[in-house]
Structure 1
Amino acid sequence: MSRINKLLYSVVFVLCLPLNVVLGQDILTPEEAFQLALENNYGIKIATNNVEVAENNTNVLNTGYLPTLTGNAGGSIDRQNTEGQLANGETRVAEGAETRRYNASLNLNYTLFDGLGRHYNYKQLKEQYQLSQLEARETIENTMLELFSIYYTVAQLSENATVLEETLTISKDRLTRAEYQFEYGQDTKLAVLNAEVDINNDSINLINAEQQLKNTKRDLNVVIGNTMVSGFEVDTIVTFPLLLNKEELFQKTLTNNVTLMQIEQNIKISDFTIKSNKSGYLPTVGLQGSYGWNESNNNSPLAFTLQNTSTGFSAGVNLTWNLFDGGATITRIKNAKLDLENQKLQKELVLTEVQRNFNNAWDDYQNKLKIYRVQEDNIKTSKNNFERTQEKFKLGQVTSIEFRQAQLNLINAELSRNQAKYDAKFAEMTLLQISGELLNVNF
């Protein structure tokens, strides 16, 4: 089994796995979203059909190796007024003389040799089939990258909404405290007004976050083929289990990157195109066979025979050699060689771009992981600062403005941490896609 077939076999195997997602289920995991997209995404379905078309084209029925068999049949009626003179001088007239003719035949044509043109065309079709598999894999990879981008955006927005809900709860508690303090003369009306303004701002932020979350969930549902009902949630637990070695991953990139593999297939196809065009220099040898039946009925008094029937078989071999076609074959071969050269140059260009993209993705992944770890430490500091400020606020040792600032610092730290976490995860997915390992990811 070729490497390409193994890759697509693994995808088909995933499609055959039991699907644990049920409409209305609370949590949609990355594994389940992956399976749903494979099975229901419209772009993937179209790509799969294109692979089937390419596979059909490699069938022996489309190669020209089989003979052609045609059947012909016909009949005619001829009515004529005829006048004839016999040798003795007698003249005879036949009015409305009718002649009926019938025929039927089977004709077989088979090309014994066509200069190896169909041989290389068949090899070219097989390479086209391999290329269509790679194109389908590229569609699947791009769809999965889009899926993970939207999925982790939903997860981030879900966590952001939770943070904003907690913030609103704290702000409401602060308003209650400010109202009690104002009622008992421990604070001014200004503290109450400030708390109300902050509640309004927190409410607006939460409303916007929830609406954005709903919209992004709809985007996710489109990618997985509109298979989920409203109200589903996603998994917000993210891990980074990959202990990646840059050099090993780069070697996998050179072997498994789908763009490089497509270039290799195009080079093979171009090489077979040259060989196929060279078949124009060689002769074509064909075999012909025919079996026919003919019958003629003639009621004319001038006819020597009233009925004539014949059946028979004929066969032959023909050779056709286009000694000069005006230079068309030479031109096709020259252009095919140039196309092959362009494909090789394209390979060098793509190889350079893939190497650049890999290095950029590797550095981006490493940097985003570092930022995420820094943001995790920042969360601890911000939480500690907020909790201390909150205790002092309850004791009346800090103002509401200072408390609000500590609260905002915590909000920003949590939102930044969420952003950094999912940025790092998506950077990991991008790196795996470049290296050709995205479809082998372990969730």
Structure 2
Amino acid sequence: MSIKNYLLFAFLICAITTQAQNILSQEEAVKLALENNYGIKIANNAVEIAENNTSVLNSGFLPTLNGSAGATYNLDNTEAQFSNGTSTVLNGAESSRYNASLNVNYTIFDGLGRRYNYKRLKEQYQLSELQARETIENTIVQLFSVYYNVAQLSENVDALQQTLKVSKDRLVRAQYQFDYGQNTKLGVLNAEVDINNDSINIINTNQLLKSAKRDLNVVLGNVLEDAFQVDTEVIFALQFQKDSLFENAKRRNVALLQTEKNIAISQLDIKSGKSAYLPTLGLTGTYGWNENNNNAASFVSVSTNTGLSGGLNLSWNLFDGGSTMTRVKNAKVNLETQQLQKENILISITRDFENAWEDYQNKLNIYNIQQSNILTSQSNFERTQEKFKIGQVNSIEFRQAQLNLLNAELSRNQAKFQAKLAEIQLLQLSGELLNVNF
């Protein structure tokens, strides 16, 4: 096979392999993370438990019903003296008793404690939903941090491979020039050194890329095969103005919403604690069956009783040593703590939002500058390359132009994905992360 045919065959194999690799889009990555990330699964289980706790079966509003039964057997030696003066002696006299009953208990009034506890469970359920949302948001930010790292390294590999290709072309030219006496061996050696350096850079970057892909796979629940690529295109789609975004942050920030739920829970804790100051009124009912099989010494040989009984009971803990008063006081202090935390979070949100907004704007500006720098570096490299071909520029100057273009491409790649991550973090802070399409 000729060299030309071999290169054509190799090119086709590479093209087929590239097409065979699955491209993981950003939308697919988010979908896989939501379905398979273990942290999100654990958070969803916590939400399910909290939802179960809000059931009426866990509210205390329903009555309790329990059944009981028993049996007793006696084998006695009995000496009985009757009132008429006669007596009898029984050896091995048998007797037995059987009973069964159903007992119902229902609390009619408990100082409204059940009502406040039930409301607390509902607030706790909503708090668990917010905690799950926070886990999801943090996972998405982590996902894109790793995803864009893979994307950046992928673009870096492409840039390094293009640099290596140029270096190999330069080596071929230097070798021809040396063979025909137009240049010294130094030009060939310099080209070989540059090829080695470019190859080492590709090896190191490929290793980083493989590690980054493994990190991404962990976030996705380890559901991907090794051969996959990511979408390196980035679209900056922030549709909010600064003021409206800041207002959203004060209303929708998940940390702030959790604190508001904790305030509501603390308020219910105070009311629930105060309910212990009031009396408790309960209803009891029993339906029972009893059968007695007596021995011969008894006047009644067999007796059977069935009956229904019911009653009301009132209890009022007039003084419990001060434990209720202590609980109420502590609940009030905890409410004050939650309110202070809310104020502190609002201050932190204001600071973090200003920092995140400026960081996003700065990184976006840097990316735009790097985009322009690419055009300048590309134009400079092309002109230097033309001059190098006609001998007006030496290999050192050509290599410097080549490295300038490579560094510009690497810096542009870094700036692009850093700007996108800054946008995502700004959306998370404002509570809009889960409302955008990736």
Question: TM-score under structure 2 normalisation?
Answer: 0.94
Cα drift, residue 258 of structure 1: 0.3
Rounded to whole Å, the distance in 2 between the matches of 1:45 and 1:82 is 71
Aligned equivalent of 2:230: 234
Cα drift, residue 88 of structure 1: 4.5
**Which of the numbers 141, 145, 156 marks the counterpart of 1:145?**
141
**Which of the numbers 154, 170, 182 marks the counterpart of 1:186?**
182
Deviation digits for residues 197-255 of structure 1 (CA, Å, limit 9, x no counterpart): 11000000001111111111111111112221111111111121324311010001111
Aligned equivalent of 2:339: 344
Cα drift, residue 85 of structure 1: 2.3
Aligned equivalent of 1:411: 406
Aligned equivalent of 2:159: 163
Matched, 1:293 2:306: no
Deviation digits for residues 376-409 of structure 1 (CA, Å, limit 9, x no counterpart): 1111111111111100110011110110011111
**Which of the numbers 372, 376, 388 marks the counterpart of 2:371?**
376
Deviation digits for residues 309-332 of structure 1 (CA, Å, limit 9, x no counterpart): 111000000000000000000000
- 3-state secondary structure, aligned to 1:97: strand
Aligned equivalent of 1:436: 431
Matched, 1:273 2:269: yes
Aligned equivalent of 1:11: none
Rounded to whole Å, the distance in 2 between the matches of 1:57 and 1:183 is 85
Cα drift, residue 355 of structure 1: 1.1
Rounded to whole Å, the distance in 1 between the matches of 2:63 and 2:239 is 59
Deviation digits for residues 22-68 of structure 1 (CA, Å, limit 9, x no counterpart): xx762111111111111111111111111111010000000000000
Aligned equivalent of 1:106: 102
Aligned equivalent of 1:197: 193
Rounded to whole Å, the distance in 2 between the matches of 1:385 and 1:220 is 37
Q: Which amino acid aligns with 2:312?
A: V
Aligned equivalent of 1:85: 81
Q: Structure 2 stretches of 5 or more lacking a match?
A: 1-19
Rounded to whole Å, the distance in 2 between the matches of 1:182 and 1:25 is 42
**Which of the numbers 309, 319, 326 marks the counterpart of 1:324?**
319
Rounded to whole Å, the distance in 2 between the matches of 1:229 and 1:273 is 51
Deviation digits for residues 99-158 of structure 1 (CA, Å, limit 9, x no counterpart): 100000000000000000000000000000100110010000000000111111111000
Rounded to whole Å, the distance in 2 between the matches of 1:88 and 1:442 is 101
- 3-state secondary structure, aligned to 1:323: coil
**Which of the numbers 193, 198, 208 marks the counterpart of 1:212?**
208
Matched, 1:353 2:348: yes
Rounded to whole Å, the distance in 1 between the matches of 2:317 and 2:307 is 32
Question: CA 1:88–1:377 in structure 2 vs 1: closer, same or farther (change >3 Å)?
Answer: closer
Aligned equivalent of 2:12: none
Percent identity over the alignment is 67
Q: Which amino acid aligns with 2:245?
A: L
Q: Which amino acid aligns with 1:313?
A: L
Q: Which amino acid aligns with 1:275?
A: K
- 3-state secondary structure, aligned to 2:401: helix
Match runs of 1:20-99 below 5 Å:
26-99=22-95
- Aligned-residue CA RMSD (Å): 1.0
**Which of the numbers 375, 384, 391 marks the counterpart of 2:386?**
391
Rounded to whole Å, the distance in 1 between the matches of 2:119 and 2:339 is 20
Q: Which amino acid aligns with 2:225?
A: V
Q: Structure 1 stretches of 5 or more lacking a match?
A: 1-23
Question: CA 1:25–1:414 in structure 2 vs 1: closer, same or farther (change >3 Å)?
Answer: closer
- 3-state secondary structure, aligned to 1:106: strand
Rounded to whole Å, the distance in 2 between the matches of 1:25 and 1:388 is 36
Matched, 1:306 2:301: yes
Match runs of 1:242-281 below 5 Å:
242-281=238-277
Deviation digits for residues 294-320 of structure 1 (CA, Å, limit 9, x no counterpart): 0000122x2111111111000000000
Rounded to whole Å, the distance in 2 between the matches of 1:365 and 1:150 is 18
**Which of the numbers 114, 126, 131 marks the counterpart of 1:130?**
126
Matched, 1:116 2:126: no
Q: Which amino acid aligns with 2:362?
A: N
Deviates more, 1:219-228 or 1:285-294: 219-228
State the aligned residue count. 419
